[in-house]
Amino acid sequence: MIRQRRRSVFTALAGALALVLAACGSGGSDSGTQEQLSAQDVQAALEAGGTIKVWAWEPTLKEVVTGFQQKYPKVKVELVNAGTGDKQYTALQNAIAAGSGVPDVAQVEYYALPQFALAKSMTDLKAFEADKFEGTFTPGPWTSVHAGEGIYGLPMDSGPMALFYNKEVFDKHGIQVPATWDEYVAAARKLHAADPKAYITSDTGDAGFTTSMIWQAGGKPYQVDGTNVKIDFADEGSQRFTTMWQQLISEKLVSPVNGWSDQWYQGLADGSIATLVIGAWMPANLQSGVAAGAGKWRVAPMPQWEAGGKATSENGGSGLSIPTAGANKALAYAFVKYATTEEGVKTRVDGGAFPATTAELTSQEFLNAEFPYFGGQKANEVLSQAAQNVVGGWSYLPFQVYANSVFNDTAGKAYVSGTTLSDGLKAWQESSAKYGKDQGFTVN
Amino acid sequence: MAPPQPATVVPDGQESATSGAGTPGTARAKLPRRRRSWVGWRFVGPFLAVFALVFLAPIVYSIYLSFFRNRLVGGNSFVGLDNYQQVLADPQFWSGVGRVSLFLVVQVPVMLFLALLVALAVDSGRLYGRNFFRLAVFLPYAVPAVVATLMWGFMYGTRFGLVGNINEALGITLPDPLSPEWVLASIGNIVTWEFIGYNMLIFYSALQVIPRSLYESAEIDGASQLRVITSIKLPALRGALMIATIFSIIGSFQLFNEPSILQKLVPNAITTDFTPNLYAYSLSFSGQQYNSSATVAIVMGVITMIVAYVVQLRGMRKDG
């Protein structure tokens, strides 16, 4: 009898489980036919009003939302910070998999966009006539929001690389601003010899930095054609970078401090980290994070592989995309356009962001802005120039988010053991290729 | 519904399964046989419902997930036991298992021995300021693991941390506790620090229930303190030791918090497959490989159960 009762309870439990499982399983993504959207539709949606949810962490968007709501009083925008970078992508991917709670607009970095595009998680904005913005944006970011034939977002900011350096430290030790990477290595040696506590820069293995450096050196380690992927870190550009950077690692000329840590900010402030080769979005971060460095820092063009060259690459930067599962795409698109091509751009530039639009990048007001933080230097002249000279033809992996997460497992070994950076990158290549194959890509 | 976190769920469920298995059945058997009565079920119903929802459902869902493979290209498909085959042949998984096994074999005996020593010292009654001592040893357990790890992480720092200060003050170069070679030992140190007090309390409470009369007769027989320990206290501690060992085995195999937090400080020393739980976590959260992640969690749960069971069997044989 007891056994029987037990069985009935288990039947009930099994029933409950079945319900739970059914609930879990029902989140299939339905990528139906692509809907079209014209300018009139967007205008109509703005007049009708409604509420949209935006997931983004970029600080200047707050002002943009305020401006947008003033212009279109019937529309309400909920700006949610669902985490920065990876954290937000995880939340977003979970929401998309579950089929509920998906925002109408999401901020996605360029390197992560192909992954979302491939899974058809983001709307192809070509159907919304987004291709007319071709000339509006600078080439780097504009290429970055493309995946295959589609346009999966509008560029919000960009990060052409430049050399940020501490002039006070350079002057003290009589170091010239390096124009080439050879000069950079020489400067690193001279600085560290003069002051053993000072380093030219810090690096503990950063996938984004490494890929951007290879990009500038003309390397194309990732070749992506639909689901055919080729990964090759033995190409000339990659080798150029590893040969140069290996000297800095082997001779312990880079500070072993993790980027964005408290020690890193301290190092930038006290001169023990003398330069940063980083994206053009850095000034706002320096101003807020390294207040003590005000007046000491300057901006110079990125060091070159060939004397007299001008090549740069993108480092970071993100766009605004519209998830396929979003509810109100017309309003979402109106907001994305406002923030990236209309009044929102000025709001963001005033807030210290680095734009991706040609008009702002070439406007006299932008170029002539003097930065008190950089000792009155017109820093945007350098940065804007960098934006024009991004090397073309680069692409990220359609699973770059994962690849970057295992960078330190593999290439990171070069920073803590006898492994060379070149071998580290080879291991990274293998690890990325394995994941790609697991995910159904053709990798070779 | 958000995917469950198999990494933490499986061992939890198994823990409660071992502790809750025998009791309801025996209690019910004592009831006089009567007409079919649902009163009892009404009492356990709420528990069973919650139990099913938060313990069984995630396990069943993980098992369900482990039979599928969801790919970026090709979508979701049923793959049978393929995932298990893959995990069992995965060197990254086994390197994690090897690491936590090494941790188990070295750290657990050290920790339990120290905890035993402290418990005996507190119990001996000869300790000055016994209550303060007991509290001081227990205090680290009250510090959240995250805070403890961050604290130790800063102390381990060779540039700005305590280790760096010692190096500078004494003009020596200590091995870097956060280098790939030493980081496992450093984590062992943190875990030992955290859990000595907890295990001490288990031992201490077992010592408290020993009848005082035994000590009196030992004294009459002229037994030395050492003899009292080996003949009375240690045998009485066997059950407690068994429990502490099993908790520690589960804890070692579940190692996650400490490496996960230290990883942010030293990403090159702690890989994403450092421990099986960390591996399951990265598979799931950076790779979106929920299926492999669920499989790793289940395989690890089974391994933990087997090891805990073998240890328990051995312990019981000694008892008998």
Walk along chain B (320 residues) and give the pLDDT tens digit of each residue. Answer: 344 444 444 444 344 444 444 444 444 555 556 667 888 888 999 999 999 999 999 999 999 999 999 888 888 899 999 999 999 999 999 999 999 999 999 999 999 999 999 999 998 888 888 889 989 999 999 999 999 999 999 899 887 789 989 998 998 888 999 999 999 999 999 999 999 999 999 999 999 999 999 999 999 999 998 999 999 999 999 999 999 999 999 999 999 999 999 998 899 999 999 999 999 999 988 888 899 999 999 999 999 999 999 998 887 765 54
Q: Note the pTM of the prediction, 2 decimals.
A: 0.83
What pLDDT, on the 0 to 100 scale, is given for residue B128?
A: 86
Helix H or strand E segment including B78: strand B75-78
Angle at A387 between CA A383 and CA A390, to 5 degrees: 130
Mean pLDDT across A21-35: 43
Q: What is the pLDDT of residues A103-155, one digit of tens each?
A: 999 999 999 998 898 888 999 999 998 999 988 998 888 988 988 889 999 99
The DSSP code sequence of B84-129 is HHHHHT-HHHHHHHHHHHHHHHHHHHHHHHHHHHHHHHHHHS--TT
Q: How many CB atoms lie within 10 A of CB B140?
A: 18
How far is residue A60's CA from residue A62's CA, in Å, rounded to a whole number? 5
What pLDDT, on the 0 to 100 scale, is given for residue A147?
A: 85
How far is residue A420's CA from residue A433's CA, in Å, rounded to a whole number? 20
Helix H or strand E segment including A78: strand A75-80
DSSP state letter for A274: -
Strand partners, A108: A319
> Which residues of B are less than 8 Å from A402 in CB distance?
286-288
Q: Which two tokens stand for residue A269?
A: 């402030």
Q: Supply the ipTM of this predicted assembly.
A: 0.80
CA nearest to A8 within chain B: B41
- Which candidate in A113, A121, A416 is best for mutational testing of the B interface (most B CBs within 10 A)? A416
Q: Are A178 and A187 in contact (CB under 8 A)?
A: yes
Cβ-defined contact of B287 to A402 (cutoff 8 Å) = yes
What pLDDT, on the 0 to 100 scale, is given for residue B21?
A: 41
Residue A21 at interface with chain B, using a CB cutoff of 8 Å: yes
How far is B57 from chain A, CA to nearest CA, in Å?
6
What pLDDT, on the 0 to 100 scale, is given for residue A41?
A: 87
Residue A1 has pLDDT above 70, yes or no: no
CA nearest to A266 within chain B: B160
Q: Which residue would you say has higher pLDDT here, A8 or A314? A: A314
Residue A261 has pLDDT above 80, yes or no: yes
Q: Which residue would you say has higher pLDDT here, B314 or A421? A: A421
What pLDDT, on the 0 to 100 scale, is given for residue A7?
A: 46
What pLDDT, on the 0 to 100 scale, is given for residue B28?
A: 52
Helix H or strand E segment including B294: helix B290-319
Q: Which two tokens stand for residue B283?
A: 């598979």
What structural domains does chain A harbor?
39-158+316-362 (3.40.190.10), 161-313+376-443 (3.40.190.10)
How far is B268 from chain A, CA to nearest CA, in Å?
5
Helix H or strand E segment including B62: helix B57-65
Q: Which two tokens stand for residue A132?
A: 């007319």
How confident is the prediction for chain A on average, in pLDDT?
89
Residue A332 has pLDDT above 70, yes or no: yes
Cβ-defined contact of B288 to A435 (cutoff 8 Å) = no
Residue B273 at interface with chain A, using a CB cutoff of 8 Å: yes
A-facing residues of B in 167-186 (CB < 8 A) are 179-180
Q: How many CB atoms lie within 10 A of CB B57?
A: 22
Beta-carbon contacts below 8 Å between A and B: 101
Going by C-alpha positions, the residue among A95, A258, A325 that lies closest to residue B2 is A95
Q: Which residue would you say has higher pLDDT here, A147 or A414? A: A414
Strand partners, A76: A51
Q: Packing angle between helix B145-156 and helix B257-265, nearest 10 degrees?
A: 40
Going by C-alpha positions, the residue among A314, A327, A297 that lies closest to residue A392 is A314
Strand partners, A224: A229
> Which residues of B are less than 8 Å from A440 in CB distance?
71-74
What pLDDT, on the 0 to 100 scale, is given for residue B5?
A: 44
Q: What is the pLDDT of residues A237-254, one digit of tens each?
A: 999 999 999 999 999 999
Cβ-defined contact of B72 to A409 (cutoff 8 Å) = no
Single-letter residue type at B37: S
Mean pLDDT across A318-343: 93
Cβ-defined contact of A9 to B74 (cutoff 8 Å) = no
What structural domains does chain B harbor?
90-319 (1.10.3720.10)
Q: Which two tokens stand for residue B16?
A: 């409660």
Cβ-defined contact of B268 to A204 (cutoff 8 Å) = yes
Cβ-defined contact of B72 to A86 (cutoff 8 Å) = no
